[in-house]
Chain A
Amino acid sequence: MTLDQRQQHLDSLRSALSVVVYPIQWLVDLPAASQDWFQETLSSRRTLQEENARLRTEQLILKAELQKLEALESENLRLRELLDSSFKVRERVLIAEIMAVDLDPYRHQILLNKGSSDDLYTGQPLVDANGVMGQVIQAGPFSATAMLITDPAHAVPVQVNRNGLRSIALGTGSLTSLSLPYLPNNADIETGDLLITSGLGGRFPPGYPVAEVETVIRDPGESFAQVFARPLAELNRSREVLLVWSQGQARIDSPEEETAGDEDPAAAEPSGEAAP
């Protein structure tokens, strides 16, 4: 047990065992998966047409926005080249499904139906349509376990979109709240501020929305303000997630980064805070 906690020697054993238990998990997931399948197969022509029309308009809007984005992206890259800083906007992505399997009710972890056979790696960020969901903590060959950003052991380096103020968002154990405990009382943060990933920890690519600040309590007697934010991702509702290959992957795989990656993913995260 100590070995599993402190070192990574048992990872291979865990991966091997996860293959053995995969049929069990698949079996448990089967009712939910087949329900989805039936819903898709048996839905009427009209609903399909409606959905098709809706998706078509949505795609049109998104495409229009994408055109703008492409122009902005190239402009951004050009400006950054002028400033001599490297920044990659596009990342490789893959869609995985969350398996309908319950894990420990006191942890916020989910099981994905993709594993290291699809190139998943430990520490890989997970997003949905609205924001960051979490990161992969253990990748078996066919399935992977991911920790949500609201797990009490999880921390994600964020910054306020409005003014670039950096901080760390910790999970609280509640699906609807993140806490930012390291902000001084005079920090410029207000209700409604959008928090995006800062990319400082090296795990999450910068620029993804994480949460929206909900309450800011400034108690003059305390040295830090109490700030709580609501995650934007639909943590308990979405069935599909997007796995992102961030540009930091090469660094994480390199040996000198391996030592940092050895620790608990959450423990490695706050080191981002030490950076300026």
Chain B
Amino acid sequence: MSTLVRHQGGGVILLSLLIGLILGIVPLPAGLELYRPDWALLVLLYWSLALPQRIGVGIAWLTGLFQDVLTATLLGQHALAYAVATYLIITLHQRLRLHPLWQQSLSILVLLMLAQLIIFWINGIIGRPIQSWLYWLPSVVGALLWPAVFVLLRGLRRAFRVS
């Protein structure tokens, strides 16, 4: 992708994804960790919404793979979830961009839940079902945080002219 001249600011994208991954495993006080949103996926969703021509399913899949290794889950389950969520947001990006932020949040909620559903489903298949409604909390927290993530990353994108 970096072969094309007009693309720039790849470092910013990479760094933000890295920070997303780091936030995903930073130790939180006991109890709060159940609320931890899927930061890496939020960052991925922003970049694929803003620059669908740059950030695609492949990068999402790779990020998911790293997330899998970082959280010691089954190799590929986050990768699949991220790839599906990114695919959907890329197909819908033209419509989603027109929505006001709070409506975007609702769509993001659906996407985050879908990603969690895939992980939930795989966990069920491999015999580690999660029997708690609290499992879905990270999606809700993630959707609530979406406006903040969006504004922050948009600021970054404009400041560094990422295109």
Do residues A1 and B27 form an inter-chain contact, with CB atoms below 8 A? no
Q: Is the interface of A mostly helix, strand, loop or mixed?
A: mixed
* Chain B contacts for A32, CB-based, 8 A: 27
A-B Cβ contacts below 8 A, count: 73
Within 8 A of B (CB), among A126-169: 137-138, 145, 152-153
Do residues A106 and B72 form an inter-chain contact, with CB atoms below 8 A? no
* Chain A contacts for B85, CB-based, 8 A: none
User: In chain A, what residue has the closest Cβ to B125?
Assistant: A5
Known A1-B76, A1-B77, A100-B27; contact A24-B128, beta-carbon cutoff 8 A: no
User: In chain A, what residue has the closest Cβ to B132?
Assistant: A106
Tell me how many residues of A have a C-beta within 8 Å of chain B.
Answer: 32
* Chain A contacts for B66, CB-based, 8 A: 17, 20-21
- Interface residue A105 (Cβ < 8 Å from any Cβ of B): yes
* Chain A contacts for B18, CB-based, 8 A: 24
* Chain B contacts for A109, CB-based, 8 A: 72
Complex Cα distance, B42 from A132, in Å, reads 39
Do residues B128 and A17 form an inter-chain contact, with CB atoms below 8 A? no
Chain A residues packing against B (C-beta within 8 Å): 1, 4-5, 10, 13-14, 17-18, 20-21, 24-25, 27-28, 32, 100-107, 109, 111, 137-138, 145, 152-153, 236, 264
Chain B residues packing against A (C-beta within 8 Å): 18, 21-22, 25-28, 30, 33-34, 36, 65-66, 69-77, 80, 122, 126-128, 130, 132, 135
